[in-house]
């Protein structure tokens, strides 16, 4: 019997693209459930809108490009983009916010560059930044958790607010948010920044009911939930450890140094690690295999850069949470990082006698 020796690699991982994407989406479930508990049914409505929009957008562009529609949709990449964007925006955002974001992510950021594997930037984060810059009021309207827990909204009221931009009683969406909150719609990161700018210390700022033991009320549990999903991805070897560990270490060290220098103006490492989109960004966004670095050394540099930029923008920039901006900036640096971190090919580059 004759055997044919093929080129390496010889072992099959048995992990299809579709299976990988579905596993990542499944790992988001703990974080999504935590968001639903603390922020209400709006999270689920935004997810449904996102999945519908990305599916239609992907199919439409593939049709125009004469590409197979069913096979591409089944790979799950568009659905993952929709999920990541949906859980990044305020749950009571008007329906057109998520629709515009998903259309931009799929049509402009993904398909315009040639589809999966060719996009330079993370589609979900590029869309998030577009929405944040274009519609800052809607994109920063996070209702505080303590108000939602004490005065939860019904599914009917949330649906009416998202699609009609007013409650069932006829009140405007702005009035509905003010009814929920009463004073402000700032996230814990917003609250810290505004309080420090107003001359208060971090300790004084954290007496607000939007804060809990270590970080923002609800936000710290959302981050722990996404950390749980991220650990699941690491155990299943869906992602490499280099990027998330580098991001968390970099952000933790930078925020610790900031706290030691100015303890009254800096909240410290635990707050930064458990606030905003830290764990979502570290495990689910920055690890995108298309727009991230491909070498292990490069992944460490990439992660350190994201962590450093996140701290700098949060502490000294104009936006309270900086994951999206940090990821996009480092996406631009990926070709350069990969170029200088490629391992030396055996037999090349060494000294000759």
Instruction: List phi, psi (to 5°) of 188.
Output: -55, -40
Question: Mind listing the pLDDT tens digit for each residue in 165-180?
Answer: 765 555 555 555 554 4
Span of 100-109, 156-165, 280-289 with lowest mean pLDDT: 156-165
66: left (phi over 0), alpha (psi -120 to 50) or beta: left
Burial zone of 301 (CB within 10 Å; 0-12 exposed, 13-18 middle, 19+ buried): buried
pLDDT at 181: 44
Number of residues assigned to the chain: 353
pLDDT at 140: 82
Question: Mind listing the pLDDT tens digit for each residue in 191-220?
Answer: 777 777 777 777 766 777 667 666 777 889
End-to-end alpha carbon distance in the chain = 46
pLDDT at 262: 85
pLDDT at 109: 95
Residues of the chain above pLDDT 90, percent:
55
Can you give the pTM of this predicted structure? 0.87
Higher pLDDT, 11 or 154: 154
Question: What stretches of the chain show up as alpha helix (H) in DSSP?
Answer: 17-27, 29-39, 42-64, 69-74, 77-86, 95-103, 123-134, 136-139, 145-150, 155-164, 173-180, 188-197, 202-205, 219-235, 242-261, 269-273, 278-280, 296-316, 323-341
């Amino acid at each position: 019997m004759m055997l044919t020796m093929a080129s390496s690699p010889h072992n099959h991982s048995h992990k299809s693209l579709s299976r990988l994407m579905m596993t990542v989406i499944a790992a988001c479930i703990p974080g999504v459930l935590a968001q639903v508990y603390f922020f209400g049914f709006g999270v689920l409505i935004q997810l449904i809108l996102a999945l519908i929009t990305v599916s239609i957008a992907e199919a439409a562009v593939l049709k125009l490009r004469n590409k197979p529609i069913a096979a591409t949709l089944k790979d799950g990449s568009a659905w993952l983009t929709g999920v990541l964007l949906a859980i990044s925006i305020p749950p009571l955002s008007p329906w057109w916010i998520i629709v515009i974001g998903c259309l931009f992510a799929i049509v402009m950021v993904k398909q315009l560059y040639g589809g999966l594997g060719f996009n330079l930037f993370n589609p979900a984060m590029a869309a998030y930044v577009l929405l944040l810059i274009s519609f800052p009021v809607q994109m920063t309207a996070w209702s505080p958790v303590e108000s939602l827990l004490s005065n939860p909204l019904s599914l009917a009221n949330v649906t009416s607010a998202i699609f009609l931009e007013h409650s069932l009683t006829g009140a405007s969406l702005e009035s509905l948010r003010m009814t929920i909150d009463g004073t402000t719609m700032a996230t814990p990161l917003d609250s810290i920044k505004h309080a420090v700018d107003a001359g208060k210390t971090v300790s004084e700022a954290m007496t607000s009911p939007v804060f809990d033991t270590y970080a923002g009320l609800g936000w710290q549990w959302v981050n722990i939930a996404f950390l749980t999903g991220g650990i699941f991805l690491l155990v299943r070897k869906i992602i490499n450890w280099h990027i998330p560990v580098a991001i968390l270490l970099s952000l933790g060290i930078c925020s610790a140094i900031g706290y030691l220098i100015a303890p009254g103006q800096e909240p410290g490492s635990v707050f930064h690690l458990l606030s905003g989109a830290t764990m979502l960004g570290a495990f689910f966004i920055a690890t995108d295999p298309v727009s991230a670095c491909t070498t292990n050394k490069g992944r460490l540099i990439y992660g350190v850069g994201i962590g450093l930029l996140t701290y700098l923008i949060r502490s000294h920039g104009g936006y309270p949470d900086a994951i999206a901006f940090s990821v996009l900036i480092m996406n631009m640096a990926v070709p350069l990082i990969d170029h200088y971190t490629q391992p030396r090919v055996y037999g090349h580059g060494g000294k000759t006698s």
